[in-house]
Structure 1
């Protein structure tokens, strides 16, 4: 047998013996190690499950501990992505406010008012026009807050209806023992250029008059000073167009506010921004409150500018025989003023059918007076106007036309009747005077008209 074959046989006998020896040596220790490994694996698995359960539980105190350590502990027991999410949630989560102790008994405490820190600036006030007039006090009996720079209520059609209904229930006579006052109703387009003259007229007679101003709602002129009779005397207004029924609506609005504002208002005089007084206040006041008639034109005029403006669709509420015409500028007593604001019969007819050549301000009040109280009318106006030049508008007067002789003629140049007696005091007011004539009136008023 060769050497090579001998070595192969020796190796074949040795290897089985080595393997058998190793197996014999390892046989006794195998069961102990296997048990140890199984126990360790089982313990590790139980620990992992317990840790995950604790992390997922919202009530577990370990969750907060993991977040508090910036995710270090979370990284040991959670996958990398889960740990990153936990850290991100902790960073985005706002700090929890301390929970106040819960009272044991009684109702829940009322939360205290939240106060603005002193260091934070106060919010700026709402922007208001420096020229917007503040509203005067709301008259008694008017339900609703004033709007803009007005007295009482106003605005939409519903507000006007409410206003008229309230004014219709106002007393028809001045309370017994009260001193009668005169309500001066100024129906204007914009400002009052003659206000300085009127202030001199009213000066020293507070408590014997009231002023009410209806101007264009877009007007934002400066508020008169507190010493002025026009201070805070605007009422809620609407746009007024010449020749439209809106003119009568404005007149009714003025009357309603004056009726509600003061029960002592006994007479109501309609004026414009171009009106001027021709006498001093005591003369005008006495003339008005002692009159037994109201001063309003109401006559039947044939032709296109009189009967020709009647609309047959007004019948049978207003017939052609009842149709009358007159000047817009009036003086009414309290009873007739109440009739005007309470009218729900004739005014709706005028509002619907008096248009396109029918001027409601020249026909509504004259017709209403003729129907309701024909015997109460003096059938004349207290306002002097020059219609001699013709046209739809009266003549206007400039500064150079205002002279002492002209004013004296206006005061006593005609004759009329007053309480059944003849007098030369027929006109208490005059119009239309341009603003540039104010300086002349201020100069001549003390000498001719007795005031200023």
Structure 2
């Protein structure tokens, strides 16, 4: 009896001893299973989330067009498939480098000017380069003469021109995708008349246009500018010119030399000081020199303030000092200053006649063109008010031939 009791106790102890490791084993196995399931869900979650270039995760719905299953044909997608997308779209292709499709970018002005200042050492182009005209519109908001410009560009070879628009940052042109102005706004900043911010905007337009290596001539235009010749005439005139057309002259009055600040010496002396219309046209070589300048721009930013109007003096002075041999010292944009004052004459609907428009094209004067002279001195004109649009559309085909 005692022996049986001892066997029962041994059996009981053995049963208890086996139960504990068995329970532990069961709990351990269950833990592994739960861990694997959770890991699978976590892995699927994180690999399905898009990442930005800074490594931060964004909460984008699975069906969003920004997810990794959809690529952007203009820029590389910022997803976990960034490398795959770039390879597929060939973001580093020669085509995308030579002529960016998308004008949107996150570069600061300093970064943009540095990028645009790059000049290849090799003279020969590795592609069939057709020199293009860059039409650069500097405006606060709408372009009231867009219908006229649309007619001007209609039917023209898109390999011969590009368009860039600088507006107030909050303004959107809001044009249809069939317009030549569609997606042509560049990243902009606020501009105030009579300040160096106007020069900043001009250099910003130049720099964005310089990113397209086929752009050879750069035309600054306002919202009140119109072309007074057809596209082909203007293209031939500018691409065949050996000079740029930037107004630059010595004005001894208080509106010229009177704006000079002696603190600019010795870098800029009174004899270097020049004045001119801001509505320029220039070639690629000169455009690169202007956006690459830091020293003289900084002097104007510091000392050309209040009633100095740097947009009328910075480029005329800088070009006169260093690159006068590249410049015709005149503008190709007609402006009527005969009324005096701080602003030129404005033309409204009642002023638009065939005779008036023909007088803008040829008025009996001649000007320098290459090594000779020509009676075609102006290619564009301003300042036209919105009421002039309809009469211009009515007679542009007859007078302007577009």
Q: Which TM class, normalised by the smaller chain length?
A: 0.7 to 0.9
1:403 corresponds to 2:364? no
TM-score under structure 1 length normalisation:
0.68
Q: Is 1:295–1:382's contact at 8 Å kept on the other side of the alignment?
A: yes
Which one has a bigger Cα radius of gyration?
Answer: 1
Distance 1:268 1:436 in 2: 28
CA displacement at 1:125 relative to structure 2: 7.7
Name the CA shift for 1:302/1:267 in 2 (closer, same or farther; >3 Å): same
**1:114-158, CA deviations, whole angstroms, 9 ceiling, x for partnerless residues?**
499xxxxx69989xxxxxxx997699569xx99xx953334xxxx
1:354 to 304, 308, 320: 304
Q: Would you say how many aligned residue pairs link Structure 1 and Structure 2?
A: 339
Contact 2:361/2:379 (<8 A) preserved: yes
Counting only pairs closer than 5 Å after superposition, residues 141-180 of structure 1 correspond to structure 2 as 150-154=103-107, 159-171=108-120, 175=125, 177-180=128-131
Q: Which residue of 2 aligns with 1:255?
A: 206
Contact 1:306 1:325 in 2 (8 A): yes
User: 2:155 is paired with a residue of what secondary structure?
Assistant: coil
Q: 2:172 aligns with which of 220, 223, 227?
A: 220
Equivalent in 304, 326, 338 of residue 288 of structure 2: 338
- 1:174 Cα offset (Å): 8.4
Distance 1:439 1:357 in 2: 37
Q: Could you tell me whether the CA contact under 8 Å between 1:387 and 1:394 is conserved in 2? A: yes
Contact 1:136/1:150 (<8 A) preserved: no
Structure 2 residue 130 is matched with structure 1 residue 197: no
Structure 2 residue aligned with 1:100, among 8, 30, 33? 33
Gaps of 5+ in 1: 1-58, 62-96, 117-121, 127-133
Shift in alpha-carbon separation, 1:101–1:136, aligned structure 2, 3 A: closer
**Does the alignment pair 1:433 with 2:364?**
no
Q: Post-superposition shift, 1:101?
A: 6.1
Calculate the aligned-residue CA RMSD, in Å.
3.5
Match of 1:31 in 2: none
Distance 1:311 1:161 in 2: 26
Moved more, 400-409 or 420-429: 420-429
SS at 1:201's partner residue?
helix
Q: 1:168 to 1:362 in 2, by over 3 A?
A: same
The 2-side partners of 1:370 and 1:135 are apart by 44
Preserved CA contact (<8 Å) 1:399 1:437: yes
Match for residue 308 of structure 1 among 258, 268, 273: 258
1:319 equivalent to 2:269? Answer yes
Give the alignment's TM-score, normalised by structure 2. Answer: 0.76
| Structure 2 equivalent of residue 70 of structure 1 | none
Deviations 1:290-321 (A, max 9, x none): 00111011111102111111101111111111
Contact 1:326–1:362, Cα closer than 8 Å, also in 2? yes
| Pair 1:435–1:135, CA change in 2 (3 A) | farther
Cα distance in 1, alignment partners of residues 374 and 173 from structure 2? 41
- Give how far 1:175 is off: 3.2
Q: Distance between the aligned counterparts of 1:349 and 1:140, measured in 2?
A: 36
The answer to whether the Cα contact below 8 Å between 2:333 and 2:382 also exists between their aligned partners in 1 is yes
8 Å contact from structure 1 (residues 174, 264) kept in 2: no
Structure 1 CA distance, aligned partners of 2:177 and 2:35? 58
Q: Is the 8 A contact 2:274 2:317 kept in 1?
A: yes
Please say if residues 382 and 426 of structure 1, whose CA atoms lie closer than 8 Å, have aligned partners that are also in contact.
yes
Give the aligned partner of residue 226 of structure 2.
276
- The residue matched to 2:104 in structure 1 has which SS? coil
Gap runs ≥5 in structure 2: 1-20, 24-29, 49-60, 66-71, 76-90
- Partner of residue 44 from structure 2, selected from 100, 105, 113: 113
User: CA 1:114 to 1:376, structure 2 compared with 1: closer, same or farther past 3 Å?
Assistant: closer
Going from structure 1 to structure 2, the CA distance change for 1:349 and 1:174 (only over 3 Å counts) comes to farther
> 1:99/1:357 Cα in 2 relative to 1: closer, same or farther (>3 Å)?
same
Which residue does the alignment assign to 1:16?
none
Report matched runs for 1:208-247 at 5 Å. Answer: 208-222=160-174, 224-247=175-198
User: Do structure 1's residue 446 and structure 2's residue 397 form an aligned pair?
Assistant: yes
Aligned match of 2:366: 415
Q: Which residue of 1 aligns with 2:317?
A: 367
How has the CA–CA distance of structure 1 residues 170 and 385 changed in structure 2, closer, same or farther, with 3 Å as cutoff?
Answer: same
The 8 Å contact of residues 135 and 151 in structure 1, kept in 2 or not, is answered as no
**What pairs up with 1:81-100 in 2 under 5 angstroms?**
100=33
| Residue matched to 1:47 | none
